[in-house]
């Protein structure tokens, strides 16, 4: 099925926001980059923030689906899947288009806790925490919530390190730490 104009606009805007940031991307830049007139943009979205929310929703759906599927492809047991999640991060870090986490960026650019963009970014991270906590529970961790939080912290640190520090292997280093945490959590 051919994407409609709204979907195509969201897809193109997502690429621009991911590459250049949210505040740095004005509507004039979006007109040039997407090939969609301001009139058409405002026909589909009342504001730039509404377009950002649609782009975040698309990123959430596509990235989380890819991430969870890759974890399941790489490992069979919940414990192994927790560790494999760091291999998936490593794959992502190697992509030419890797520019860090769009949700970290959104939370940083829209810091007010009740701002809809901040709320969406936080919701995404909570869903990832739920995924890790659920795997920790299934793996038999004594305190699955604590292990989920610790592994999420490692993943988030690895993402930021992959963007900012080019002379280390953050996915591999975080995976090593995750193994220790998992062993301790399983007893």
pTM: 0.92
Q: What is the mean pLDDT of residues 102-124?
A: 97
The domain segmentation of the chain, as residue ranges, is: 54-186
Rg (CA), the chain: 18
CATH fold, domain 54-186, is: Tetracycline Repressor; domain 2 (1.10.357)
For 122-134, what is each residue's pLDDT tens digit? Answer: 999 999 999 999 9
Q: What is the mean pLDDT of residues 51-68?
A: 97
In angstroms, the CA 186 to CA 184 distance is 6
pLDDT for residue 4 is more than 90? no
Q: What is the mean pLDDT of residues 141-167?
A: 96
pLDDT for residue 148 is more than 70? yes
Q: Do 170 and 101 touch, CB atoms closer than 8 A? A: no
Q: Is 45 helix (H, G, I), strand (E, B) or coil?
A: coil
Higher local confidence (pLDDT), 148 or 35: 148
Q: What pLDDT score does 1 carry?
A: 41
pLDDT for residue 2 is more than 60? no
Q: Which of 45, 55, 44 is nearest to 15 (CA)?
A: 55
DSSP 4: P
Long-range contacts of 126-135 (CB under 8 A, 24+ apart): 127/60, 127/64, 128/64, 128/152, 128/155, 131/68, 132/82, 132/85, 135/78, 135/79, 135/81, 135/82
- Confidence class of residue 3 from pLDDT cuts 50, 70 and 90? low
């Amino acid at each position: 099925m051919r994407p409609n104009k709204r979907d195509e606009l969201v897809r193109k805007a997502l690429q621009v926001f991911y590459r250049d940031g949210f505040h740095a991307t004005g509507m004039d830049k979006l007109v040039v980059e997407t090939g969609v007139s301001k009139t058409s943009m405002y026909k589909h979205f009342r504001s730039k923030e509404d377009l950002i929310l649609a782009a975040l929703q698309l990123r959430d759906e596509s990235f989380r689906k890819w991430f969870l599927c890759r974890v399941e492809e790489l490992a069979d047991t919940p414990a192994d899947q927790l560790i494999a999640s760091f291999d998936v991060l490593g794959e992502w870090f190697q992509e030419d288009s890797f520019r860090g986490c769009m949700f970290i960026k959104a939370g940083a650019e829209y810091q007010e806790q009740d701002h809809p963009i901040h709320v969406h970014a936080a919701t995404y991270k909570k869903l990832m925490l739920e995924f890790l906590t659920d795997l920790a529970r299934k793996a038999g961790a004594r305190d699955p919530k604590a292990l989920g939080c610790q592994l999420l912290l490692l993943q988030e640190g690895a993402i930021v390190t992959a963007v900012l520090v080019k002379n280390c292997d953050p996915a591999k280093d975080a995976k090593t730490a995750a193994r220790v945490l998992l062993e301790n959590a399983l007893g």
